[in-house]
């Protein structure tokens, strides 16, 4: 008697709205990314107002890659794990070792990023609301809290992130529209960019640009995260492209519109001080 060794499919409970809400976690990192690009990290200088141009380039490159990502993901519509899981399946016929490495190492690479995001979020929470509690404790509490939510299943995660993403999107639209309608945006200032270089000369400019492009690569999760739950999405052939498109629109708001509006409303120096 032969056993059926096929894997049990994931329950499909996500629509394109839930998938988009999950993907907006990548866009919500924009404030940390803008700060790192604008003012730098520790002793490493940032790119100044030219960071806005780098963000625009990064998002455009992500837009260009989005159709290929979507097509690749939908080749294995029953998998979860995004590009890593898809590449793992693609490499499996050629090398089981390479297949396992593609699936594991990609997500292990995100562990430090998640830890850094927790620390940055905890630092803001501690500064604003909990000045007597150590940042490390708040960061660990955030990690434990979100781990517990994830262990409850994708339905509970979706129920949590949809209202959060909705509120975040509303605030982002308001932050973009209100300064424009109130006439507080200096469009000449918003489109004047200056590159901060670590040392004089063209090589210093090139070094600054390349360092900025490395950080801009983190804009990609705004799209890639929309493909991580294909196996849990209802009618993925229809809903996953919708989620990727919606994520692309929101990424444009967070990574292009908001930085330009803020630069025009506050100016390069004031914006740098606020982000710092």
Lowest mean pLDDT among 38-47, 104-113, 251-260: 38-47
Higher pLDDT: 213 or 163? It is 163
Separation between Cα atoms, residue 35 and residue 272, nearest integer Å: 8
- How many Cα atoms are found within 13 Å in the side-chain-facing hemisphere of 94? 9
Query: Per the domain annotation, does 32 fall within a domain?
Result: yes
Alpha helices in the chain (DSSP H): 16-27, 30-39, 51-73, 82-91, 96-108, 110-128, 135-151, 154-181, 187-190, 202-216, 221-224, 236-252, 258-266, 268-275
Counting the structural domains of the chain, the total is 1
The pLDDT assigned to 273 comes to 62
The pLDDT assigned to 28 comes to 64
Separation between Cα atoms, residue 33 and residue 121, nearest integer Å: 13
Average predicted confidence (pLDDT) for the chain = 81
* Residue 233 backbone phi and psi in degrees, to 5: -100, 135
Query: Per the domain annotation, does 200 fall within a domain?
Result: yes
Q: Is the pLDDT of residue 174 over 90?
A: yes
Query: Per the domain annotation, does 89 fall within a domain?
Result: no
Higher pLDDT: 274 or 179? It is 179
Query: Per the domain annotation, does 242 fall within a domain?
Result: yes
Query: Per the domain annotation, does 66 fall within a domain?
Result: yes
Query: Per the domain annotation, does 58 fall within a domain?
Result: yes
Quote the Cα angle for 111-114-117, to 5°.
150
Query: Per the domain annotation, does 166 fall within a domain?
Result: yes
Separation between Cα atoms, residue 269 and residue 39, nearest integer Å: 10
Q: Residue 41 forms beta bridges with which residues?
A: 44
pTM of this prediction exceeds 0.85 = no
Reported as a single tens digit per residue, the pLDDT across 70-90 is 888 899 888 888 888 888 888
The residue range of the domain holding 28 is 16-38+45-82+154-275
Q: Is the pLDDT of residue 148 over 80?
A: yes
Which pLDDT band, with edges at 50, 70 and 90, does 4 fall under? Answer: very low
Query: Per the domain annotation, does 56 fall within a domain?
Result: yes
Reported as a single tens digit per residue, the pLDDT across 19-34 is 888 888 766 666 666 6
Q: Is the pLDDT of residue 251 over 70?
A: yes
Q: Please say whether the beta carbons of 247 and 20 come within 8 A.
A: yes
């Amino acid at each position: 008697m032969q056993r059926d060794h096929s894997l049990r499919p994931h329950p499909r409970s996500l629509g394109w709205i839930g998938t988009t809400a999950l993907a907006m976690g990548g866009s919500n990192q924009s404030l940390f990314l803008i700060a790192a690009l604008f003012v730098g990290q520790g002793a490493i200088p940032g790119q100044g107002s030219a960071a806005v141009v780098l963000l625009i380039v990064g998002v455009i490159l992500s837009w260009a890659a989005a159709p290929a990502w979507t097509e690749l993901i939908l080749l294995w519509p029953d998998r979860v794990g995004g590009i890593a899981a898809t590449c793992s399946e693609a490499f499996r016929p050629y090398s089981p070792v390479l297949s396992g490495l593609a699936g594991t190492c990609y997500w292990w690479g995100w562990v430090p990023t998640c830890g850094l995001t927790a620390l940055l979020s905890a630092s803001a929470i501690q500064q604003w609301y909990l000045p007597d509690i150590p940042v490390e404790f708040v960061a660990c509490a955030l990690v434990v809290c979100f781990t517990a939510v994830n262990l409850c299943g994708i339905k509970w995660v979706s129920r949590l992130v949809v209202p959060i993403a909705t509120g975040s999107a509303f605030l982002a639209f308001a932050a973009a529209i209100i300064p424009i309608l109130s006439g507080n945006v200096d469009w000449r200032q918003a489109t004047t960019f200056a590159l901060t270089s670590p040392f004089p000369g063209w090589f210093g400019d090139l070094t600054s640009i390349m360092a900025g492009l490395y950080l801009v690569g983190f804009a990609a999760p705004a799209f890639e995260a929309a493909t991580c739950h294909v196996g849990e999405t209802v009618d993925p052939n229809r809903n996953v492209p919708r989620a990727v498109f919606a994520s692309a629109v929101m990424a444009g708001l967070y990574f292009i519109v908001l930085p330009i509006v803020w630069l025009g409303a506050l100016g390069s120096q004031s914006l740098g001080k606020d982000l710092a």
